[in-house]
């Protein structure tokens, strides 16, 4: 009886599963990844991957040990010169002249020559053109006859939290790898870049990013560049759900300056700022909680001339909302000294629009 009962129960459950697969009396359903469109059509990542992958390269750098003290020189005398340090990362082709953007930390310390492996497995020698440690970006160049396929830039101001994105790179030396996720947040400052001029306003994504992805592409569903993958937040050093990319608008500004001037010319408002917290909002009796608080206006700079005052709250630049200091620094840092920008402020509850000439 036990055998018969178990057999009946097994067959009943098996029959139910078959029926459910056919769509009747369903407890379990097929699950498709959809784009939320009116027809519930599945998301197709293939076009974005096919369009962006040829523009992403593998980068290998070699750093020879350089003694920094007499002690290290003595150690080299007794034990010989240490083996060169080899590191790997990714890069993105930005034009047909052979310029490639990557991270500063990928090529930092490279002994002049960088080895680039293209999507079609050609190995090319590249030269470091210039670096910008304040944004952790760098530009290298291969010969323009290399017939590389550049990526198209998207406007990172249009990126929305929750939209699909792909990370393209070479994680853990696995060439031409694509992972998918969403934009988890914007304007992140994670204090990973050192220095007074450090500029962080990262796009945060949950697309899997690991060591080797640095300098690779973060793209939208059109395969257009929205960011350069730069960092991960992880207790282990490997992917833990949080990755960060430099927004494409800032990337475009920095690489153009590095190519033309070998340095970055960054605009400035001429103010000291702070994020709005509960204490500031209460003490200053602010009518808005989103925006950037102007703590000080520097005499003789663009902000003062335009009429910005201490205690104002900056809410937008060129019509694009800024919610924190990181976003404001990115919007201003993406422009040149001498540029005139429209800055929206809130003063005592009243909205105003001012035109500021950047310093």
Shortest CA distance to 195 belongs to which of 145, 131, 271, 152?
131
> Judging by beta carbons within 10 Å of its beta carbon (0-12, 13-18, 19+), is residue 41 exposed, middle or buried?
exposed
Q: Are 298 and 270 in contact (CB under 8 A)?
A: yes
123/45 Cα distance (integer angstroms): 28
- Indicate which residue of 58, 87, 90, 105 is catalytic: 105
Tokens of 123: 């190995």
CA distances to 113, 132, 257, 332 from 261, in Å: 21, 12, 5, 19
Q: Is 158 a catalytic residue?
A: no
| SS3 state of residue 308 | coil
- Indicate which residue of 136, 157, 189, 206 is catalytic: 136
86/344 Cα distance (integer angstroms): 48
Q: Is 35 a catalytic residue?
A: no
CB-facing half-sphere around the CA of 55: CA atoms within 13 A: 30
Q: Is 58 a catalytic residue?
A: no
Three-state SS annotation for 79-119: HCCCCCEEEEEEEEECCCCCEEEEEHHHHCCCCCEEEEECC
- Indicate which residue of 90, 134, 214, 344 is catalytic: 214
Q: Which residues are catalytic?
A: 105, 136, 214
């Amino acid at each position: 009886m036990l055998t018969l009962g178990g057999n009946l129960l097994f067959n009943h459950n098996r029959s139910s599963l078959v029926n459910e697969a056919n769509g009747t009396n369903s407890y379990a359903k097929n699950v498709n990844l959809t784009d939320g469109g009116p027809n519930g059509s599945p998301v197709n990542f293939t076009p974005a991957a096919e369009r962006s992958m040829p523009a992403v390269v593998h980068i290998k750098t070699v750093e020879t040990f350089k003694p920094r003290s007499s002690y290290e020189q003595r150690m080299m005398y007794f034990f010989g010169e240490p083996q060169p340090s080899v590191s790997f990362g990714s890069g993105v082709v930005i034009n047909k002249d052979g310029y490639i953007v990557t991270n500063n930390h990928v090529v930092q310390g490279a002994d002049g020559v960088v080895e680039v492996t293209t999507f079609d497995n050609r190995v090319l020698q590249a030269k470091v053109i210039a670096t910008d440690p304040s944004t952790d970006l760098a530009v290298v160049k291969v010969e323009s006859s290399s017939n590389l396929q550049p990526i198209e830039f998207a406007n990172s101001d249009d990126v929305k939290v929750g939209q699909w994105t792909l990370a393209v790179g070479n994680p853990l030396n696995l060439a031409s790898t694509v992972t998918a996720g969403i934009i988890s947040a914007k304007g992140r400052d994670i204090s990973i870049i050192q220095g007074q001029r450090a500029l962080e306003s990262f796009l945060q994504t949950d697309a899997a990013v690991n060591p080797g992805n640095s300098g690779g592409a973060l793209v939208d569903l059109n395969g257009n560049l929205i960011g350069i993958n730069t960092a991960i937040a992880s207790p282990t050093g490997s992917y833990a759900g949080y990755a960060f990319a430099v927004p494409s608008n800032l990337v475009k500004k920095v690489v153009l300056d590095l190519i033309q001037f070998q340095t970055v010319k960054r605009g400035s408002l001429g103010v000291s700022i702070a994020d709005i917290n509960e204490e500031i909002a209460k003490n200053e009796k602010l009518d808005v909680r989103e925006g950037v608080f102007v703590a000080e206006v520097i005499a003789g700079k663009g902000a003062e001339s335009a009429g910005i005052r201490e205690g104002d709250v900056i809410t937008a630049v060129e019509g694009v909302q800024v919610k924190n200091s990181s976003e404001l620094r990115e919007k201003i840092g993406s422009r040149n000294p001498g540029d005139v920008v429209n800055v929206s402020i809130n003063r005592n509850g009243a909205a105003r629009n001012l035109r500021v000439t950047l310093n």
